[in-house]
C-alpha cells in the first residue's frame, strides 16, 4: 500500500495518493471487548461491524465515535464528518480531516488535521495526510482559477459577438435607410422629370 502511495506521489497524482492512503481504515476509537460494551444497541452494532454491514452498524450504534467509524467505512463521509465533529480528541479530529478530504472540503480538512496535530505533534498520519490535502487544495484552487478565467473569456467573447452583431445590425439599418433615401430621391427626380415633360407639351 505504501509503495503504491509513494508511486502516486512521485507522479504528482495527489488525488489518487490521498484516496489510496485514506482507504486505510480510520483510527478505530473503539477496542472491542465484550465487557466494554454497555448497551444492547452497541452489541448489535459490533455484530454488524464484524459482518461488514457498515450501513446497519452506523444506524445501530449509540456511541457517536463508533457510529462515525461505521459511517466512514460505509463511505458515508458526510455522516461520518458530522459525528466526528463532536469528538474533541486527537482521533476525532484526525478522522474528521479524512472524512472532509473525501468530501472535497480541503480547507476544513486542513483545520481538522491542525487540531489533531495540536493535541499530538507526533501524529505522522495526520501530518502526512495534511501535506497531501494541501496539494489537493492547491490543485482545486488552480482549477477554479482556470475555470474563472475561461468563464471570463467566454463572457468577453459573447460580449464581442453581441457587439459585432449590433454593429452589423446598425450598418444594415443604415444601409437600408440610405437605399430608401436614394429610392425616394430617384422617385422625386422621375416625378419632376415627368412634370417637366408634360409642361413642355
| 189, part of any domain | no
Q: What is the mean pLDDT of residues 183-187?
A: 83
| 160, part of any domain | no
| 169, part of any domain | no
Placement of cell 486527537 in the chain? 90
What is the rounded distance in angstroms from the CA atom of residue 98 to the CA atom of residue 18?
9
Q: What is the mean pLDDT of residues 163-188?
A: 85
3-state class of 143 per DSSP?
helix
Q: What is the total count of domains within the chain?
A: 1
3-state class of 22 per DSSP?
helix
The grid coordinates of residue 139 equal 490543485
Q: How confident is the model at residue 26 (pLDDT cuts 50, 70, 90)?
A: low
- pLDDT score recorded for residue 13: 42
What is the rounded distance in angstroms from the CA atom of residue 9 to the CA atom of residue 136?
12
Quote the longest CA-to-CA distance of the chain.
Answer: 131
What is the rounded distance in angstroms from the CA atom of residue 30 to the CA atom of residue 57?
14
Burial (CB count within 10 angstroms: exposed 0-12, middle 13-18, buried 19+), residue 176: exposed
What is the domain range of residue 37? 2-142
What is the rounded distance in angstroms from the CA atom of residue 108 to the CA atom of residue 113?
9
| 180, part of any domain | no
Q: What is the mean pLDDT of residues 172-197?
A: 83
The CATH number of whichever domain residue 68 belongs to comes to 1.25.40.10
- pLDDT score recorded for residue 2: 45
pLDDT of 129 > 70? The answer is yes
| 164, part of any domain | no
Q: What is the mean pLDDT of residues 173-200?
A: 83
pTM score of the predicted model = 0.58
C-alpha distances in angstroms, 172 versus 123, 137, 183, 190, 194? 73, 52, 16, 27, 33
Placement of cell 472491542 in the chain? 32
C-alpha distances in angstroms, 35 versus 27, 48, 182, 200? 21, 18, 104, 130
pLDDT cut 90: percent of the chain above it: 42
The mean pLDDT value of the chain amounts to 82
| 134, part of any domain | yes
pLDDT of 76 > 90? The answer is yes
| 22, part of any domain | yes
120: left (phi over 0), alpha (psi -120 to 50) or beta: beta
| 109, part of any domain | yes
Rounded to 5 degrees, φ, ψ at 158 are -65, -40
Amino acid at each position: 500500500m505504501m509503495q503504491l502511495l509513494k508511486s502516486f506521489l512521485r507522479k504528482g497524482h495527489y488525488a489518487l495518493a490521498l484516496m489510496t492512503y485514506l482507504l486505510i481504515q480510520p483510527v478505530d476509537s473503539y477496542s472491542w471487548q465484550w465487557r466494554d460494551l454497555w448497551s444492547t444497541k452497541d452489541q448489535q452494532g459490533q455484530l454488524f461491524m464484524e459482518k461488514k454491514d457498515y450501513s446497519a452498524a452506523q444506524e445501530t450504534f449509540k456511541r457517536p465515535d463508533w457510529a462515525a467509524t461505521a459511517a466512514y467505512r460505509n463511505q458515508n463521509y458526510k455522516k461520518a464528518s458530522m459525528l466526528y465533529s463532536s469528538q474533541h480528541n486527537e482521533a476525532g479530529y484526525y478522522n474528521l480531516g479524512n472524512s472532509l478530504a473525501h468530501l472535497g472540503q480541503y480547507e476544513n480538512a486542513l483545520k481538522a488535521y491542525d487540531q489533531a496535530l495540536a493535541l499530538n505533534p507526533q501524529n505522522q498520519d495526520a501530518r502526512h495526510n495534511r501535506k497531501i490535502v494541501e496539494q489537493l487544495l492547491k490543485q482545486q484552487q488552480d482549477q477554479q482559477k482556470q475555470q474563472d478565467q475561461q468563464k471570463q473569456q467566454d463572457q468577453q467573447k459573447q460580449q464581442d459577438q453581441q457587439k459585432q452583431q449590433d454593429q452589423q445590425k446598425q450598418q444594415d439599418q443604415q444601409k437600408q435607410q440610405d437605399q430608401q433615401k436614394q429610392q425616394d430621391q430617384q422617385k422625386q427626380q422621375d416625378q419632376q422629370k415627368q412634370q417637366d415633360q408634360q409642361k413642355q407639351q
